[in-house]
Amino acid sequence: MFDINSYHKANSVDEAIALLSQNPDAIPMAGGTDILVRLHGHNKKFSHLVDIHNVIELQNVTIENDGTIVIGSGMTFTGLAHSSVIRENIPVLNEGGSSVGGPQVRNVATVGGNICNGAPSGDSASPLLVLNATVELKGPDGVRHLPLYEFYQGPGQVDRKDGEIMTCLRIAPGDYKGWSAYYYKYAMREAMDIATIGCAAACKVENGKIAGLRLGFTVAGPTPLRCWRTEEKASGMGANEELLDMVENSVLSDLRPRDSWRAAKDFREQIIKTLAKRVLREALKRNTEME
Ligand SMILES: Cc1cc2nc3c(=O)[nH]c(=O)nc-3n(C[C@H](O)[C@H](O)[C@H](O)COP(=O)(O)OP(=O)(O)OC[C@H]3O[C@@H](n4cnc5c(N)ncnc54)[C@H](O)[C@@H]3O)c2cc1C
């Protein structure tokens, strides 16, 4: 059924890197929920595999002494939903994760695979973008860190060099403490479906004014995107209706939605404007509740 040309199983990150280096055509396979669909479609790019599904060191969520949250790339979405670190500190990631597929998919699909597949629709992408997550990659030349928004390079393309494994995602304490956030996935069906548009907002309010605002969208461009211009305009504004109107009117200047069989561009634009306002309103409400 599957045209698998070579298969190697790794038991550690170092072994996976060595196997990838020895097999230059091979790619890492975590949960396999994307890869097996591609193989089913006879896509040869996915036919040499290094299986990292059993690499335990990738399957942890921890908090370092300075408050940095470290999410192993091999964490499944079900695992994230059970993590008290995620639930108590960055529940917005579970709002994204719990909307991935159905329970069977979430039991094996990993957050690392959801990011490394480079899909513009990945449900963990916009929550992680508004948490300012950085990506950690380990390969034959050592360890690299880069912001998630730089990791995305185009549809289905990420900055993973030959032989590299994404080991974890890191979220600094200043990027979640005092912030509140919310994610909403607009899809055509309430049951299992890929997002038509996904939107996450994170905000920090001090003395009624915006001390920080971040907006992240999926399926609104060739990669998951942050809304840099709108975020900058919001800085220092009151946390009020004027802010929400500004965001609604500005957000399209940051994004590049397009027509697809799933939805027309002008329909997507309408959803983007509506979601920007609604999702930010909910994030602001949560911030007020925190004060
Ligand atoms: C029925 C079904 C429904 C789905 N619904 C959704 C949905 O609603 N929302 C959504 O976002 N996605 C959905 N998906 C897509 C998929 O389940 C997710 O993208 C999932 O998170 C991929 O993770 P994985 O571990 O299975 O990745 P894999 O299939 O193992 O790998 C995906 C890609 O990432 C690379 N990769 C994986 N781990 C690493 C790593 N640690 N380092 C470097 N590269 C790595 C692989 O080489 C491959 O290119 C669905 C899939 C199916 C089959």
What is the 8-class DSSP label of residue 45?
G
Task: Give me the residue label for tokens 């045209």.
Answer: 3
Task: Indicate whether residue 83 lines ligand 1 (CB < 6 A).
Answer: no
Let me know if 133 is exposed, middle or buried by CB neighbors in 10 A (0-12, 13-18, 19+).
buried
pTM here? 0.96
Query: Domain residues of the chain, as ranges?
Result: 6-45, 60-174, 180-290
**Average pLDDT of every residue of the chain:** 95
Structure tokens at 147: 């912001």
Confidence of residue 288 (pLDDT cuts 50, 70, 90): confident
Per-residue pLDDT at 162 exceeds 80: yes
pLDDT of residue 263: 87
Q: How far is the CA of 220 from the centre of ligand 1 (A)?
A: 19
Q: How far is the CA of 288 from the centre of ligand 1 (A)?
A: 35
Instruction: Tell which CATH classification among 3.40.50.10470, 3.30.559.10, 3.30.390.50, 2.40.50.100 matches the domain 180-290.
Output: 3.30.390.50
pLDDT of residue 186: 93
Task: Please give the angle made by the CA atoms of 102, 108 and 112, to the nearest 5 degrees.
Answer: 105
Pairwise pLDDT comparison (3 vs 10), residue with the higher score = 10
CA distance linking residue 23 with residue 255, whole number of Å: 38
In percent, the amount of the chain with pLDDT more than 90 equals 88
pLDDT tens track for 172-229: 999 999 999 999 999 877 767 888 999 999 999 999 999 999 999 999 999 999 999 9
Confidence of residue 290 (pLDDT cuts 50, 70, 90): low
Task: Give me the residue label for tokens 């957050």.
Answer: 111
pLDDT of residue 39: 87
Q: How far is the CA of 269 from the centre of ligand 1 (A)?
A: 27
Which of 15, 50, 105, 189 has the most ligand 1 atoms within 8 A of CB, as the residue to mutate?
Answer: 105
Residue pair 158/261 in contact by the 8 Å Cβ criterion: no
pLDDT, mean of residues 138-167: 97
CA distance linking residue 103 with residue 97, whole number of Å: 11
Atom of ligand 1 nearest to the CA of 110: 25
| DSSP state letters, 124-190 | THHHHHHTT-EEEEEETTEEEEEEHHHHEEETTEE---TT-EEEEEEE-GGGTTT-EEEEEEE-SSS
Alpha helices in 157-291 (DSSP H): 228-234, 241-250, 265-290
Equal CATH topology for 60-174 and 180-290: no
Fold of 60-174: 3.30.465
**Phi-psi sector, 248: left (phi>0), alpha (psi -120 to 50), beta:** alpha
Pairwise pLDDT comparison (263 vs 180), residue with the higher score = 180
pLDDT tens track for 21-60: 999 999 999 999 999 998 887 778 888 999 999 999 999 9
pLDDT of residue 289: 61
